[in-house]
Structure 1
Amino acid sequence: MNESLPADVADALAAVLSADNPVHVALRRQVPRLTVRARCTCGCGTAYFELDTSKVDPAPTGPGTVVAAEAQLVTEAGECPGEVLVFTRDGYLSWLEVCSWNDDIEVTLAAARHWLHTRS
C-alpha cells in the first residue's frame, strides 16, 4: 500500500515531535523521507512507515524498538481518552500509534490531532 505521507499523519508527527531535544530533532529530519506502508483497519489512524535508512541518520534512541515520543490526549472537558505514541526501531521512525483508553470517547487520528493542537 505504499503512499506518500498523508497530511494527517505528518501533522500528528509534527505535534508529537515538537520538542527541541536531540531525539525529536533527528526524527523530524526523517519525516520528509517517510512513506506509509500500511494503516490500521480499525479506523484509529495508526500508520506503519517505510523509510530508506540509507538516506537519513538514526536518532539517538538506542537499539531495538522504543517509544521515542508520546503525547497524552486531553479533551476540552479535561478527560484523557488516550495517547499518541511514536515508535522507532534502531533509531528510525517505524510507526505512529493512536491508543484509546476509553470506550466512551472515540479516539481517532482526526480527534487526536484536534486535541494535540488545543493542549496548552
Structure 2
Amino acid sequence: MTHGLPEDVAAVLDLVLSADEPVHVALRRQVPRLGVQSRCRCGCGTAYFALDTDRVEPAPTGPGTVVAADVQLLTETGECPGEVLVFAQGGYLSWLEVCSWSNDVEVNLASVRRWLQLPRDFADRG
C-alpha cells in the first residue's frame, strides 16, 4: 500500500481498510503519506502514526477520535483471540491497535495478517 510504512503495518492496514465505504476509501488515500511515529514495545504491533495533515484530505469521520475500522480476529480453529482497531482523529489516521484477549494465543501483526487472510467460511467446514 505504501513505501513509507513498515511492510507489516502497511499490509494490515490494507486488509483492515479494504471496504469500499467512504471512510475507508478516504483513509486509504492517506496511507501513502503515513509514517510510524512509534510502536508498542510489547511486540503486539500497535503503531502510532505521523501524518502531514496539510497534504491529505480528512475522512468523513467527524471531529473527535473514532474507531474507523474494527475487525475481530478468528483463528483457523474458530477461536477469537483479539481484534484490530484503526483509530482516526479529526478524519486523519492516528493509530493501529492490536488487542489480545487470550493468554494462550500470541496476537501480533504476523498472526493478524494470517488470520485476516483466512476464508471467512472456514468455521462452516466439516
TM-score for the superposition, normalised by structure 2: 0.91
Confirm or deny: 8 A CA contact 1:74 1:119 kept in the other structure.
Answer: no
Corresponding position of 1:116: 116
Distance in 1 (alpha carbons) for counterparts of 2:86 and 2:119: 18
1:35 aligned partner, one-letter code: G
Point out where structure 2 has 5 or more consecutive residues left out of the alignment.
121-126
> CA shift at 1:70, angstroms?
1.0
Corresponding position of 2:93: 93
Corresponding position of 2:61: 61
Point out where structure 1 has 5 or more consecutive residues left out of the alignment.
none
Distance in 2 (alpha carbons) for counterparts of 1:61 and 1:34: 18
Residues 1:30 and 2:37 are matched in the alignment: no
Corresponding position of 2:124: none
> CA shift at 1:119, angstroms?
3.8
Corresponding position of 1:84: 84
Q: For residues 61-91 of structure 1, what are the alpha-carbon distances to aligned partners after superposition, in whole Å with 9 as ceiling and x for unaligned?
A: 0111110001110000000000000000000
Q: Which stretches of structure 1, 4 residues or longer, exceed 6 Å deviation after superposition?
A: none
The alignment yields a C-alpha RMSD, in angstroms, of 0.7
- Larger Rg: 1 or 2? 2
Identity percentage of aligned residues: 72
> CA shift at 1:35, angstroms?
0.3
Distance in 2 (alpha carbons) for counterparts of 1:54 and 1:22: 20
| Corresponding residue SS for 1:96 | strand
2:65 aligned partner, one-letter code: T
Q: How many residues align?
A: 117
> CA shift at 1:118, angstroms?
1.0
